[in-house]
Structure 1
Amino acid sequence: MMSTLEVATHAPNRSVEIGGRSLAYRTIGEGKPIVLCNRFRGVMDDWDPLFLASLADRGFRVVWFDYSGLGLSTGERTYDPSKMARDPRDLVEALDLRDVVIAGWSLGGMAAQVLFATHPERVSHVVLLGTTPPGPLVKLAEQLFFDTAALDTYGIEEETILFFEPRDPKSREAAKRSAARIAARTEARSPRVPTAWAASTLSGPRSPIFPAPAVLAALQTTTIPVLHVAGDHDIIFPVENWYALNQQLPTTQLLTYPRAGHGPHHEHPEATAEHVASFVRSTAR
């Protein structure tokens, strides 16, 4: 019998036809659904399978997918979060998922926030991973992210810069372990996101990077529990921008790992899954 990690690594590709396009997705586990919205340049193969497996082991049905026009999905591609949110919304409806935990990493965290704000009826919890709040920022991104994110390919050094904390030896080792787990899938992989197209969407450090007044208003008034998980040195979405909103967001909890970067759930996959499970068990709208 395969371990849950092996199941996550080799999960079969599936698809649903909806809205004139095919959305590719994978799913493992049984229980409460959690739908994962991916990062900039991410496809289904860029989630650490140990994080996925750890969620499944804690009673979640884990669903992750390729955005329209990217990876194995068809349709018109976009990195506009207001339009990206259509993909998880349609996937939730196509799979008839209810009381969903909507989760998103980085750019996907913006899409998850849009979905939560515009279609809260199927959402029970929001889990955000290394992303930005809507509105003006108190701390801007570092140019290093934009210089690195636009490179054609990522080696282990680039992945460490982007998603971990290069100055910390333990974080560098965690980066190597995560990369090895991700590379373990060698067949039926999603095609890479076109570099030139993705790079053309980058605009450099600015405030706000996610100007969405309606989303901020939803966060300020919602009864839906929200969890944000971050590293203390996120070079694209500094966690300080979430702490600046203390006392404005009535249901938002913040978890920050020390000596960690933009991919806290890849550096601490099992711990993050445990925190997510505890958060979902202990909170309700």
Structure 2
Amino acid sequence: MDAPATVSTAVNTPTRFVEVKGRRLAYRDIGKGVPLILCLRFRGILDSWDPAFLDALAVHHRVITFDYSGLGLSTGQPSYVRTKMAQDAVDLADALGLERFVIGGWSLGGIASQVVTRLHPQRILANVLIGTTPPGKVRLGAKPVFYERALKPVNDLDDEIVLFFHPDSQKSRDAALASHRRIAARTTDVSPAIPIATVMKLLAETQGDDIFVDDNGYLDFLKTTRIPSLVISGDKEIVFPVENWFDVTPQTQAVHLMVFPQMGHGPQHEAPQVCADLITSFIRNL
């Protein structure tokens, strides 16, 4: 009798590569169904996603994660310029033969996701935005503690608790430890951390910009587009305060806002199954 096939999960799926425009993009691909491409956060790599979240999404979707150019396992010139991050996602979709897909992103990746949607609306089925900001000037900025922790050369579990969870909640702290252990479960073919020197260089190149400067009609597009967007945020968000979405959402046609209580910048890591169920239901009912 043949041995049963190994189920591909976020922990065991191999890293794959595509050669496109003179660089090599590293990506991972699990599940079947409507394709969902996820863009990474600041300092994020392939192994910054919680496997439980990706696996829960992969029950109903083809989930594709990747490293931006020149970061992690990808080659090329690294950049945190939003149009270049967005181009990485589009080039990957082209290389995989995906004409239409759901685009999503966490934090900085949510900005890249919105840029993809603005520049290629005919290809986007929906937009999934986690812990990110709307375009243009916002009422509230990141809290100082974010910069204190996010720019440390190496982040430990305590930094993760502060950056992505809600340190005043024991439940959230316990969830942080559980998520940290799930991420650490992958021990082979791991994407390398981004050196702090590279991080600072990328920040210097974008210094002077607003976080998401509205230089291409991004806000007007968000207000008028019929492409559905699901925004997921914690009410204790320290990077991109959810109150900024309160100011914008009533002016939009297709933005759905979900706020999780007593959660921070990474609700999909604190409540991976709930977030995946929400995203799955959202996409299923487009």
Taking structure 2 as the reference length, the TM-score comes to 0.94
Structure 2 residue 284 is the aligned partner of structure 1 residue 250 = no
Structure 2 residue 228 is the aligned partner of structure 1 residue 225 = yes
Structure 2 residue 56 is the aligned partner of structure 1 residue 54 = yes
Q: 1:255 to 1:206 in 2, by over 3 A?
A: farther
Moved more, 89-98 or 32-41: 89-98
Structure-1 residue corresponding to 2:243: 240
Q: Which residue, out of 43, 46, 57, partners 2:45?
A: 43
**d(CA) in 1 for partners of 2:130, 2:178:** 19
Structure-1 residue corresponding to 2:213: 211
Tell me the alpha carbon deviations over residues 155-178 of structure 1, each in whole angstroms, 9 at most, x when there is no partner.
110000000000011000000000
Q: Contact between 1:145 and 1:236, CA under 8 Å: does it hold in 2?
A: yes
Runs of 4+ in 1 over 6 A off after TM superposition: 1-6
Q: Contact between 2:104 and 2:127, CA under 8 Å: does it hold in 1?
A: yes
Tell me the alpha carbon deviations over residues 49-77 of structure 1, each in whole angstroms, 9 at most, x when there is no partner.
000000011x1000000000001101110
Q: 1:18 to 1:51 in 2, by over 3 A?
A: same
Residue 6 of structure 1: CA displacement? 6.8
Structure-2 residue corresponding to 1:272: 275
**d(CA) in 1 for partners of 2:169, 2:65:** 30
**d(CA) in 1 for partners of 2:209, 2:10:** 37
Q: Contact between 2:135 and 2:219, CA under 8 Å: does it hold in 1?
A: yes
Residue 2 of structure 1: CA displacement? 8.8
Residue 200 of structure 1: CA displacement? 4.3
Tell me the alpha carbon deviations over residues 90-109 of structure 1, each in whole angstroms, 9 at most, x when there is no partner.
01111011331100000000
Residue 201 of structure 1: CA displacement? 4.3
Structure-2 residue corresponding to 1:158: 159
Q: What runs of 5+ residues in structure 1 fail to find an aligned partner?
A: none
Structure 2 residue 21 is the aligned partner of structure 1 residue 19 = yes
Q: What runs of 5+ residues in structure 2 fail to find an aligned partner?
A: none
Residue 91 of structure 1 aligns to a residue whose secondary structure is helix
**d(CA) in 2 for partners of 1:71, 1:3:** 29
Structure 2 residue 32 is the aligned partner of structure 1 residue 30 = yes
**d(CA) in 2 for partners of 1:83, 1:237:** 21
Residue 223 of structure 1: CA displacement? 1.0
Residue 247 of structure 1: CA displacement? 2.1
One-letter amino acid of the structure 2 residue matched with residue 124 of structure 1 = L
Taking structure 1 as the reference length, the TM-score comes to 0.94
Q: 1:261 to 1:202 in 2, by over 3 A?
A: farther
Tell me the alpha carbon deviations over residues 245-275 of structure 1, each in whole angstroms, 9 at most, x when there is no partner.
1321110000010000000100110000000
